[in-house]
């Protein structure tokens, strides 16, 4: 290549150059010669990490789900059985819990979407540059507080004689108490920033000139939103829903703090690991949200939403 | 194409990992025959640290209430620095103990046999413990702390799971468990219950008194029909439950805010609530109650056996035993503790040494297939069935 042109022709008297050439580094020369080795050096560490942490952990979980536990001694016995999976899929209790968890995740996602769209639009397109910065900080602010602090704060808000009851009293509204509704409210609050940020980024990427062009061509504001903004925004919205949906699907802490008697998939897993000491069954239950999320990701992959994450 | 190759690679790696793991799936479960021999013959100098797994309120170092502290005196006396991890249910205790990270554990009767069977705790040479001879005789060599004549720990104390109610919201004052079962509708949405499968026994105790035709003789020995009756009762109760509790602090908070007005509790919960100014009272209902009789046990993998023995001896010493019993609201194991309680009537209140009273309490025991009440003609439901039933009750 380029280096070879500097080699003197064989037999020609060598001209001592004024600048001594640095000695070639053996390692870099070797890497230069073999692209496969170069690739291996670059990719081994991250790939190893992925295999170890993700794939091996998931495989271990999958395997454990096929074992059972001696309930008296609490030791896992490694005889193969599909009882756990059959129970999770066929037992009406777990079907109910799965549907309830799906409903909670869905409701949280819809509520966050309804709240996030106008907020993100205002921050990205209406607010002045200075306000824009302040508002983004304000949206991020709740993330600085610990998840537990926020959940316990809601426990107080929802309590008898708490803030919600006090606010609702003039309107004749009651606090939902510790219930499924309370879980939906609390989770919607906790995950809201995760919905606002991608949608805000999406709005930010829609150039103002596009909106102007659209109105120059005679589109009314609503038509502009429907035909120009929304199609550009879909990937960002899906990115946001992935966050809120998957985080709600796996939640167990909020359900314990404000859920009252509400059981979700997460709390069942937690109860089986921590209390009932039945790791295989917990593994079988935890495969349900994994399956749902995997399915969801496959569906949204076609929209290109994952590229804007 | 590249992406297909990558997918193949990922699948291949996953398959390889799965195969490697499949190699794990050959060994059998642990054998359940504990080695019954206490090996320790003398207590040497302390190792300098001790990790304790216990019920909340059993290991107080003054951080919850500066006046309540029996950990620091122990540390000064033995130079064993204590680290403490509380647990909310016996199941949690068994799970945590299996990690082998803890030197000693306060095990209730529904945990102790599981720990012994799982070889998570070791036999204890009681002759090394100076305070053991003083302990009430009716707490010694019991089914929950002794197996085949081998002792597995130091009795700590015992008490009942009580009924707590808000005095200003529940009138007239309840006298029976019906306040949380048949009459739960009066306080619908504000009833609480203990979040563990063992709570099924509380329903069984209630049915013993109110439905004698079911023939329940022992709330921990339920055949299929008796379990079904208890489960149905709890499913009825479920409609009126505001919250299940396993964290006593959270329960107390719910009572303080008025979200909960009646339900099962431990005396320690009532004590904390009263200290916070909540208007609550507790009682032992007419049907009797479930309860606990706890044993301090030593982990089989402990690296600090000397400190562990010192702790077992210390916690049964009159002064420490009095402090724990009074703070938690239970009867001490050591009668000499009765002279050292701040409230001189403490032992009378808790019927310490009153063997007849102690017999009315159904101490937590792990339900097993071989009926505990001696019936040979039926198979009883074991703890795994109770666990499944509990999930079903909560729905």
More confident residue, B65 or B130: B130
Least confident range of A89-98, A264-273, B257-266, B292-301? A264-273
Instruction: Sort out which chain B residues have CB atoms less than 8 A from A60's CB and list them.
Output: 21
Q: Of B29, B244, B366, which has the smallest distance from its Cβ to A75's Cβ?
A: B29
B370 touches chain A (CB under 8 A): no
Burial of B295 (0-12, 13-18, 19+ CB in 10 A): buried
Q: What mean pLDDT do residues B122-135 have?
A: 93
Given this model, what pLDDT does residue B6 score?
53
Tell me the β-bridge partners of B159.
B292
Residue B265 has pLDDT above 50, yes or no: yes
Chain A residues 162-181 with a CB less than 8 Å from chain B: 162, 177-178
**Beta carbons of A277 and B95 less than 8 Å apart:** yes
Q: What mean pLDDT do residues B238-246 have?
A: 92
Given this model, what pLDDT does residue A275 score?
66
Tell me the β-bridge partners of A76.
A69
Q: What mean pLDDT do residues B87-104 have?
A: 89
Report how far residue B330's alpha carbon sits from residue B102's, in angstroms, rounded to the nearest whole number.
24
Report how far residue B372's alpha carbon sits from residue B344's, in angstroms, rounded to the nearest whole number.
38
CA quadruple B230, B231, B233, B238: dihedral sign: positive
Instruction: Sort out which chain A residues have CB atoms less than 8 A from B184's CB and list them.
Output: none
Q: What mean pLDDT do residues B146-153 have?
A: 90
Q: In the 8-state DSSP scheme, what is residue B69?
A: B
Given this model, what pLDDT does residue A53 score?
84
Q: Which residues contact B47 (CB under 8 A, 6 or more apart)?
A: B80, B303, B304, B305, B306, B307
B14 touches chain A (CB under 8 A): yes
Q: How confident is the model at residue B201 (pLDDT cuts 50, 70, 90)?
A: very high
Residue B193 has pLDDT above 60, yes or no: yes
Paired tokens of A251: 């939640």
pLDDT per position as a tens digit, A242-301: 999 999 999 999 999 999 889 999 998 888 876 667 889 899 999 999 999 999 988 888
Q: In the 8-state DSSP scheme, what is residue A20?
A: P
Given this model, what pLDDT does residue A159 score?
86
Helix, strand, coil % over all residues of chain B, rounded to 5: 40, 15, 40
User: Within 13 A of B236's CA, how many CA atoms are on the CB side?
Assistant: 14
Nearest CA among B288, B46, B57 for reference residue B156: B57
A24-33, B32-41, B242-251 — which one is most confidently predicted on average? B242-251
How confident is the prediction for chain B on average, in pLDDT?
A: 87
Structure pTM?
Answer: 0.76
Nearest CA among A280, A261, A264, A260 for reference residue A272: A280
Nearest CA among A99, A65, A86 for reference residue A287: A65
Burial B298-328 (b: 16+ CB within 10 A, else e): bbbbbebbbbbbbbbbbbbbbebbbbbbbbb
Given this model, what pLDDT does residue B32 score?
41
Q: Which residues contact A287 (CB under 8 A, 6 or more apart)?
A: A61, A62, A65, A85, A88
Q: What mean pLDDT do residues B198-227 have?
A: 94
pLDDT per position as a tens digit, A24-53: 788 888 888 888 888 888 888 888 888 888
* Cβ-contact A245, A109 below 8 angstroms: yes
Q: Please give the C-alpha separations between residue A302 and each of A228, A235, A295, A305, B301, in angstroms, as whole numbers.
A: 20, 10, 12, 8, 53
Residue B58 has pLDDT above 60, yes or no: yes
Helices (H), ranges, B211-354? 224-238, 248-257, 267-275, 305-315, 318-328, 346-349
Paired tokens of A241: 């829903």
Query: At B298, which helix (H) or strand (E)?
Result: strand B289-299
Q: How confident is the model at residue B237 (pLDDT cuts 50, 70, 90)?
A: very high
**What are residue B144's phi and psi, to 5 degrees?**
-90, -5
Helices (H), ranges, B215-258? 224-238, 248-257
Given this model, what pLDDT does residue A151 score?
93
B28 touches chain A (CB under 8 A): yes
A227 touches chain B (CB under 8 A): no
Q: Measure the N-to-C terminal CA separation of chain B; round to a whole number of Å.
A: 48
Residue B166 has pLDDT above 90, yes or no: yes
Q: Is the peptide bond before B172 cis (omega within 30 degrees of 0)?
A: yes
Instruction: Sort out which chain A residues have CB atoms less than 8 A from B387's CB and list them.
Output: 71, 276, 278
Chain B residues 235-264 with a CB less than 8 Å from chain A: 238, 241-244, 246, 250, 253-254, 257-259
pLDDT tens by residue, chain A, 309 residues: 444 444 545 544 555 556 777 777 888 888 888 888 888 888 888 888 888 888 888 888 889 999 988 766 667 888 888 888 998 999 999 999 999 999 999 999 999 999 999 999 999 988 898 999 999 999 999 888 899 999 999 998 998 888 888 888 888 778 888 889 999 999 999 999 999 999 999 998 888 899 889 989 999 988 988 898 888 888 889 989 999 999 999 999 999 999 988 999 999 888 887 666 788 989 999 999 999 999 998 888 876 666 655
Task: Measure B279 CA to nearest chain A CA, in Å.
Answer: 15
A275 touches chain B (CB under 8 A): yes
Given this model, what pLDDT does residue B216 score?
93
Given this model, what pLDDT does residue A276 score?
67
Given this model, what pLDDT does residue B177 score?
95
Given this model, what pLDDT does residue A23 score?
73
């Amino acid at each position: 290549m380029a280096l070879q042109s500097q080699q003197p022709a064989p037999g020609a008297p060598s001209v001592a150059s004024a600048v001594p050439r640095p000695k070639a580094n053996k390692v870099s020369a070797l890497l230069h010669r073999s692209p496969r080795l170069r690739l291996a050096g670059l990719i081994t560490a991250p790939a190893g990490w992925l295999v170890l942490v993700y794939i091996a952990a998931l495989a271990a979980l999958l395997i454990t789900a096929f074992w059972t536990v001696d309930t008296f001694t609490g030791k896992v016995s490694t005889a193969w059985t599909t009882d756990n999976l059959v129970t999770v899929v066929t037992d009406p209790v777990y079907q109910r819990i799965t549907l309830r968890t799906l409903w909670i995740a869905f409701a949280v996602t819809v509520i966050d979407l309804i709240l996030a769209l106008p907020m993100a639009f205002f921050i990205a397109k209406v607010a002045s540059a200075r306000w824009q910065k302040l508002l983004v900080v304000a949206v991020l602010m709740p993330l600085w507080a610990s998840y537990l602090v926020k959940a316990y704060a809601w426990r107080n808000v929802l309590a008898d004689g708490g803030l919600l009851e006090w606010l609702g009293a003039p309107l004749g509204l009651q606090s939902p108490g510790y219930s499924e509704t309370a879980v939906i409210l609390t989770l919607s609050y906790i995950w809201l920033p995760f919905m606002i940020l991608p949608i805000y980024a999406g709005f930010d990427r829609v150039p103002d000139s596009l909106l102007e062009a659209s109105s120059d061509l005679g589109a009314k504001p609503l038509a502009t939103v429907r035909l120009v903004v929304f199609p550009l925004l879909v990937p960002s919205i899906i990115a946001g829903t992935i966050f809120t949906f998957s985080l709600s699907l796996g939640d167990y802490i909020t359900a314990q703090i404000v859920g009252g008697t509400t059981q979700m998939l997460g709390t069942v897993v937690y109860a089986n690991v921590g209390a009932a000491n039945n790791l295989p069954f917990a593994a079988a239950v935890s495969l349900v949200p994994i399956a749902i999320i995997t399915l969801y990701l496959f569906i949204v992959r076609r929209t290109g939403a994952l590229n804007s994450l | 194409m590249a992406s297909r190759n990558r997918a193949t690679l990922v699948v291949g790696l996953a398959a390889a990992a799965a195969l490697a793991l499949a190699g794990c799936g050959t060994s059998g479960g642990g054998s359940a025959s504990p080695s019954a021999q206490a090996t320790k013959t003398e207590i040497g100098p302390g190792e300098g640290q001790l990790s304790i797994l216990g019920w909340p309120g059993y290991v107080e170092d003054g951080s919850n209430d500066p006046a309540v502290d029996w950990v620091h005196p122990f540390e000064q006396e033995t130079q064993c620095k204590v680290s403490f991890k509380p647990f909310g249910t016996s199941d949690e205790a068994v799970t945590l103990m299996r990690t082998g990270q803890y030197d000693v554990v306060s095990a209730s009767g529904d945990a102790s046999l599981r720990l012994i069977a799982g070889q998570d705790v070791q036999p204890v040479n009681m002759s090394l413990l100076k305070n053991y001879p003083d302990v009430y005789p009716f707490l010694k060599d019991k089914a929950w702390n002794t197996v085949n004549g081998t002792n597995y720990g130091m009795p700590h104390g015992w008490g009942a799971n009580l009924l707590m109610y808000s005095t200003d919201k529940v009138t007239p004052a309840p006298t029976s468990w019906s306040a949380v079962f048949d009459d739960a509708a009066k306080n619908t949405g504000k009833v609480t219950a203990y979040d563990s499968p063992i709570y099924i026994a509380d329903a069984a105790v209630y049915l013993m008194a109110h439905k004698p035709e079911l023939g329940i003789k022992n709330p921990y020995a339920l055949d299929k029909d008796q379990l079904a009756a208890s489960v149905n009762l709890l499913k009825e109760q479920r409609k009126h439950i505001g919250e299940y509790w396993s964290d006593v602090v959270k329960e107390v908070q719910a009572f303080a805010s008025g979200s909960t007005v009646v339900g099962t509790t431990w005396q320690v919960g009532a004590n904390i609530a009263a200290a916070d100014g909540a208007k609550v009272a507790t009682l032992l209902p007419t049907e009797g109650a479930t309860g606990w009789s706890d044993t301090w046990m030593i982990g089989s993998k402990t690296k600090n056996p000397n400190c562990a023995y010192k702790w077992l001896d210390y916690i049964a010493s009159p002064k420490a035993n009095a402090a724990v019993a009074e703070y938690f609201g239970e009867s001490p194991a050591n009668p000499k503790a009765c002279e050292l309680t701040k409230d001189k009537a403490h032992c009378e209140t808790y019927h310490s040494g009153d063997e007849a009273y102690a017999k009315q309490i159904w101490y937590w025991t792990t339900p097993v297939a071989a009926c505990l009440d001696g019936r040979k003609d039926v198979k009883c439901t074991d703890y795994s069935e109770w666990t499944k039933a509990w999930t079903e009750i909560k729905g």
